[in-house]
Amino acid sequence: MKRLWNLLISLEAGLVLLALVCIAMAAGSFGLKGEVAAAINAMPLFAWLAGFTLATTWWLWLTLVLLALLVLNTLCCSADTLIQRFSLKGVLAWLPPQLIHAGFLLIVLAHLQSAVWGFKGTIEIPEGAGFQLPDGVAVKVARIGAIFSPMGGDRPLGYKALLVTQETAGQGGVTISPNHPWFSNGYGVYIKHAEPGQPPMALLEIHREPGAAMALAGAVLFTIGNLLLLYTRSRARELALEVDGVL
Amino acid sequence: MQPLLLTFTVLCLFGAFNRWLTALGLAAGIGYLGMRGWSLGRLPLVGPHDTIAFFAVSLAAMGLATRLSRPLRSAAWFNAAVGITAGIFGGLSLLFPIRNMPMPAILDTLWFELHVVLAFFAYALFGVGAMVSGGWLAYRERVLMDIQFKIALAGWSFFSGSMVAGGIWGYYAWGTYWLWTPKELWTSILWLFYALLLHLRLKGAKWDALSAWLGILGFVVTLFTYLGVSLLMKSSHSF
């Protein structure tokens, strides 16, 4: 049991796993083209894994297994550090790396959540028509337009659409454009493209990323830990911590 | 405007033996980026010319900032390495056409600018870290590995910040904070690689040689992530 625990908390195991994840992802990056590349971003990750053969997805399965082991290693290392080194006096020495670890773990969990329960859909719709979000909210695309540079030019910089729902009808609807989607109960409506014509057509995407909030929480924790680590590793702080016997 | 970039390149390349000439080159480079940004009405961060020029100026800036640390103040080899590397990239940027296109609406957000600026600061620091690693392999002074660790940590922190900003931008722009493209995969590889390098420090001085070689390899991974993926692999997320 002791040997297993030592393996789980071992720095060497963490280093090897980090290297192997890098290699697995690098191998996979060269195969991400064509139909495979288009499909992986058009559906939640586990749907893609289930829909393609192992000959295509092996690198991602391998990455997931290695990441799971890395998560276990990170959890055990952090637990061991807290057991061994927890004290309020030396909080600045042990806390920053643990915050970074916690942020990393939350981000991995967020990815898992989105990979399993996420939703991605595409709809091509003419101006004046309506569609329904997966949660039942009815949306009408009242107007479709293009965004041009104030300096002129023939090519639009992006597209916009006026969406009207029962909720937004009172305020005249809501306009979506690049970087300005509309959210309803966790579903985001994004405009990707539009074509002029009679009637104009818009290509909309509907996304649900259930892990987004957790990923943001992880990013905040991670950033706080990172800033604290930079602060404690500055020359003056290192000297002060050495004098206090913390480092 | 271009003569300023040319001045930056020449002063970095041929003034690499003197930090004041490198600093003068840096001032010219910052002047070029400032004037180009002024003419575009935004930060010059789109397309190979602008990004490589930004990278070159970032390299010179991070190199000169690192030069302020005591052990490197009198290290002529370090100044030469920074100057020559920044000069090479400055020259490379001149080979690409200057495009004065308006910013596509999808890129017109502070999150995108923050994402790219932080990434280039990180890339530049990884480059400077590789030079310090090379210095350790040549001179075997332990203090150089302390500096290499701090540079890697600072670079990794900028890179982490860039990934966070990129995730937030992606969520509003593409509907997801993560896309499975070669660029994102190599971004993760680079992040994990430097996480590995930083953890290796915990193994102690016996592992300095491996750390130094990994510090150099890290810059190769950086260049592949930045230029290699954009030029060699098909990715919706490039330049």
Q: Between chains, do A25 and B188 touch, taking CB under 8 Å as contact? A: yes
**8 Å CB contact between A78 and A85:** no
Structure-derived torsion over alpha carbons of residues B111, B117, B122, B124, reported in degrees to the nearest 10: 170
Nearest CA-CA distance, residue B139 and chain A, Å: 23
pLDDT value, residue A244: 54
Pairing of strands A201-208, A182-184: unpaired
Between the CA of residue B3 and those of A7, A246, B28, B42, what are the distances in Å? 59, 53, 9, 21
Distance of CA A146 to the CA centre of its chain: 29
**8 Å CB contact between B83 and B13:** yes
Q: Between chains, do A29 and B178 touch, taking CB under 8 Å as contact? A: no
Give strand pairing partners of A144. A161
- Could you say which of A11, A179, A233 has the minimum Cβ distance to residue B109? A179
Could you read off the pLDDT of B34-88 as tens digits, one per residue?
Answer: 999 999 988 999 999 999 999 999 999 999 999 999 899 889 999 999 999 999 9
Q: Between chains, do A178 and B157 touch, taking CB under 8 Å as contact? A: no
Percent of chain B surpassing pLDDT 90: 83
In sequence order, the 6+-apart residues with CB closer than 8 A to the CB of A107 are A214, A215, A218, A219, A222
Phi-psi region of B97 (alpha: psi -120 to 50; beta: other; left: phi over 0): beta
Compare all CA atoms of chain B with the CA of A182 and give the residue at the minimum distance: B172
Q: Is A60 exposed, middle or buried (0-12, 13-18, 19+ CB in 10 A)?
A: buried
Could you read off the pLDDT of B147-171 as tens digits, one per residue?
Answer: 999 999 999 999 999 999 999 999 9
* Structure-token pair, residue A186: 């966790």
Q: Give chain A's end-to-end CA distance (angstroms, integer).
A: 30
Give the C-alpha separation, B161 to B153, whole Å. 12
Average pLDDT along chain B: 93
Give strand pairing partners of B95. none
- Using a CB-CB cut-off of 8 Å, the residues of chain A touching B195 are 18
Q: Is A90 exposed, middle or buried (0-12, 13-18, 19+ CB in 10 A)?
A: middle
Q: Between chains, do A111 and B178 touch, taking CB under 8 Å as contact? A: yes
**8 Å CB contact between B22 and B60:** yes
**8 Å CB contact between A224 and A105:** no
**Mean pLDDT for the stretch of residues B177-198:** 95
* Structure-token pair, residue A208: 């649900």
> Low-confidence residues of chain A, pLDDT below 70?
235-247
Contacts 24+ apart (CB under 8 A), A167-174: A167/A137, A173/A142
Could you read off the pLDDT of B101-151 as tens digits, one per residue?
Answer: 888 899 999 999 999 999 999 999 999 999 999 999 999 999 999 999 999
pLDDT value, residue B238: 58
**Mean pLDDT for the stretch of residues B19-45:** 93
Q: Give chain B's end-to-end CA distance (angstroms, integer).
A: 22
**8 Å CB contact between A75 and A105:** yes
pLDDT value, residue A97: 94
pLDDT value, residue A191: 96
B residues 35-94 near A, CB within 8 Å?
none
Q: Between chains, do A209 and B157 touch, taking CB under 8 Å as contact? A: no
Where do we find the tokens 């949660």? A135
For A105-114, letters b (16+ CB in 10 Å) and e give bbbbbbbbbb
Give the C-alpha separation, A225 to A228, whole Å. 5
Could you read off the pLDDT of A155-212 as tens digits, one per residue?
Answer: 899 999 999 999 888 899 999 999 999 999 999 999 999 998 889 999 999 999 999 9
Q: How many CB pairs under 8 A join A and B?
A: 118
pTM for the model stands at: 0.93
Where do we find the tokens 């003569």? B3
* Structure-token pair, residue A158: 């992006």
- Using a CB-CB cut-off of 8 Å, the residues of chain A touching B175 are 120, 181, 188, 190, 205-207, 209
pLDDT value, residue A246: 47
Nearest CA-CA distance, residue A199 and chain B, Å: 23
Nearest CA-CA distance, residue B10 and chain A, Å: 34
- Of the residues A57, A117, A133, A179, the best mutation for testing chain B's interface (the one with the most B CB atoms within 10 Å of its CB) is A179
DSSP class of B71: G
Helix then strand then coil, % of chain B, to nearest 5: 80, 0, 20
ipTM metric:
0.93
Gyration radius from chain A CA atoms: 24
Where do we find the tokens 């992040």? B191
Give the C-alpha separation, A221 to A226, whole Å. 8
Q: Is A158 exposed, middle or buried (0-12, 13-18, 19+ CB in 10 A)?
A: buried
